[in-house]
Amino acid sequence: MPELSKEVLISEKEIAKRVDELAEEISNRQDGRPLLVVGILKGSFIFLADLVRRLTCPVTLEFIRVLMKDEREEGSPRIIKYDVPFTVEGKDVLIVEDIFDTGITIDYLLDHFANQSPASTQVCVLLDKTETHKVDVKVDYVGFEIPNKYVIGYGLDFEEKYRDLPYISWLDNVTWPLSS
Ligand code: 5GP
């Protein structure tokens, strides 16, 4: 059975400080140009809400939902369950993701948007599990590099629980991808 660690991996205070820094970096690079922020549901929703409120460039917001065809298979192809309802042609796009694990989701979305001729596409992830990358994708902004643990909290779930934790912790005894 998965057990919630009693320890905090990343505290509320550390998250808030890093989100401030990321927002400043993104705003500076954007230099007043409008940004279309695309949040990947559901795990990014709290990070995204905190980040967009700190950006100083004009922001519009959309969401996309990507699922694994088979949650038991690590390299499973991704499918789009819910998409941005227009093409992103000519726009500066910032993809916001909770976690870079294998990188397959980000890689898939970069291809998806590249086909629509955006002005630019950047990627911002809150967490980066540096030990588990399977594909080499360019990520522009990383909140925190973390060890290979199953993390929860601040939007991230296990079976839809723990998203509401204000900090990031981890669960022991979780095999990921989820086994049947
Ligand atoms: P990818 O392997 O494509 O980089 O990540 C796919 C998705 O797996 C992430 O968006 C996230 O929803 C989920 N994921 C990967 N590692 C973890 C983890 O440690 N905790 C949670 N809650 N989700 C994870």
- For residue 113, give the nearest of 126, 100, 98, 95 by alpha carbon: 95
Tens of pLDDT, residues 75-101 = 888 999 999 999 999 999 999 999 999
- Residue 179, pLDDT > 70, answer no
Q: How far is the CA of 93 from the centre of ligand 1 (A)?
A: 21
Domain residue ranges of the chain, discontinuous segments joined by +? 3-172
pLDDT tens-place string over residues 147-168: 999 999 999 999 999 999 999 9
For ligand 1, mutation pick of 10, 65, 67, 101 (most atoms within 8 Å of CB) = 101
- Return mean pLDDT, the chain: 95
Dihedral pair phi/psi, residue 19, rounded to 5° = -65, -40
Give the mean pLDDT of 47-70: 96
Fold of 3-172: Rossmann fold (3.40.50)
Residues of the chain above pLDDT 90, percent? 86
Band (pLDDT 50/70/90 cuts) for residue 180 is: very low
Q: Which atom of ligand 1 is nearest to the CA of 104?
A: 3
Ligand 1 centroid – CA 61 distance (Å):
22
What local confidence, expressed as pLDDT, does residue 32 receive?
Answer: 97
Q: Rounded to the nearest whole angstrom, what is the distance from the C-alpha of residue 143 to the centroid of ligand 1?
A: 15
- Partnered with residue 38 across adjacent β-strands are 62, 95
**Protein residues whose CB sits closer than 6 Å to any atom of ligand 1:** 43, 97-105, 150-152, 156-158, 176
Q: What is the pLDDT of residue 176?
A: 72
